[in-house]
């Protein structure tokens, strides 16, 4: 089965700086990679996703890059704000598959004012 590793487990940055979270996956059949943000006590919310036919996707301050050859993908948050503080989970899946959403272990991001 799929295995997703996520690093770092905790990340502290100063407000305005950039944050990068990295994930690797094992199953070359995976082709859909969502990122979820989970604030304390709240539901995971999809913030951005990327499919394997795309190398990079950007949405305002958030971007995701994918390297299929190396089987890794990264989340980049620029101009971080205190409200970006949360746990971020990467995941891997085969698009169209109803079951195979494998999560990484999560990164606690803290943005220091």
| Span 17-46, contacts to other proteins by CB under 8 A | 32, 34, 36, 41-46
How distant is the alpha carbon of residue 65 from its chain centre?
10
- DSSP per-residue letters across 66-93: EETTTTEEEEEE-S--GGG-EEEEEEEB
Binding of residue 67 to other proteins (CB under 8 A): no
The pattern of x and - marking residues 77 through 106 that bind other proteins according to CB under 8 A reads ------------x---x-xxxxx-x-xxxx
**Nearest to other proteins of 34, 111 (CB atom):** 34
- Cα separation, 50 vs 36, in Å, equals 12
- For residue 105, the number of C-alpha atoms closer than 13 Å in the C-beta half-sphere is 8
Residues that bind other proteins (CB under 8 A): 32, 34, 36, 41-46, 49, 89, 93, 95-99, 101, 103-106, 108
């Amino acid at each position: 089965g799929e295995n997703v590793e996520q690093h770092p487990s905790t990340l502290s940055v100063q407000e305005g700086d950039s944050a990068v979270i990295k994930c690797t996956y094992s199953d070359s059949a995976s082709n859909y990679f969502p990122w979820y943000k989970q604030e304390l006590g709240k539901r995971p919310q999809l913030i951005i996703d990327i499919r394997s036919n795309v190398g990079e996707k950007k949405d305002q301050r958030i971007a995701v890059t994918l390297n299929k050859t190396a089987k890794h993908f990264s989340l980049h948050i620029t101009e971080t704000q205190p409200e970006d503080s949360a746990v971020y989970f990467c995941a891997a899946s085969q698009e169209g598959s109803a079951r195979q959403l494998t999560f990484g272990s999560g990164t606690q991001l803290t943005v220091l004012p």
